Structure 1
Amino acid sequence: MVIKKLWVGIGCQKGISQQLINLVIKKVFQENQLIYHEIAGIATIDKKASEIGLLEFCKLEKLPLKTFSAELLNNVFVPNPNNTITKLVGTSSVAEASAILAASEITSTEIMLLVPKQIFRLPEAPATITVAVAKSETLIF
C-alpha cells in the first residue's frame, strides 16, 4: 500500500491547461527525486476552485483539490512570500502556503516544505504556474 503524503501547492494564471500542470508537476518531481504516486492532492487558493485546467488535472489523476481562503493562506509562514501578488489575490503566498496548509490538515503530523515555490513560464504556453510541495509525516509516540 502506498501512503500518499505529498501535497502540491499551485498558483496559476487564469486559463492554465491541465497538460501544462501535468508537465510542470512531473518536472518538479523528477528534478527533486520525489515519487509522483505519493501525491495526496493539489492545493490552491479558493479563487482558483473553478479553474478548468486544475479541475481537469485533478479528475484525470484522481486527486482531491483543496482550496483555502486568502485569509488562511496569510496566516502561514512561508520562506518566499511575494508581496506583489497580495494586491491581486489577497495573500503573499499561494503555492507554498496552500501546500503547507493541506499537508497540515492531517492530525499528529510534522510538516516539511520539500520544494519551495518554483515559477514556470514556458515559451509555448502564455500562462505562468507556481508549484511547491509539502510533506506530512505521521509522528509515532
Structure 2
Amino acid sequence: MPSVYEAAGSTEGLVRLAAAWHARVLADEVVSHAFSHGYHPEHTGRLAAYWAEALGGPPAYSSEYGTEAEVVGMHSGNGPHEEMDRRAIACFDAALTDAGFTTGPLRQVLHDYFAWATTTTMTGHLPAGASIPRWSWDGLETRHD
C-alpha cells in the first residue's frame, strides 16, 4: 500500500493542496489574521514539504528548513484560539476539494491529519530538535522526540 504522501500525489499533489489551503485562509476573515504580520515568500512550498514529511515522504522540511520545535514555536504561545482552528480546518476541507481530493479514504486521512495537527501538535511547546510526527493511514505513527 502506498504511503499517504504517495497517494496524495507526492510533492506535486501536496504543493497543489498547500496552495489551495493558503488561498482559502488568506480569504478567511478570521484565519487570515495569522498571516497579517506577513509570511515567508515560499510559505506554500515549505508547507508542502512539511506535510510531505509528516505523511511519509522525504525529510526535506527537516533537512532544509528546521525542526518540529521551531514550527510549533511559530504557531503556539498565543493562547487558545478554537474559532481560528475550526475555521482553518474548514478552509482545509474546502482546499481538499479545490485540489481534487474529493472522495475516499485519502480525503478522510488528510482531514484527520490536519485537524489533529491544528488542534494538538501546533498548540504546545516542544524540546529543541523534536522531529515532525509521522501520520499514516492508521493515524499517528510517531510522536515528537
What's the TM-score once normalised by structure 1's chain length? 0.30
What's the TM-score once normalised by structure 2's chain length? 0.30
Higher strand share: 1
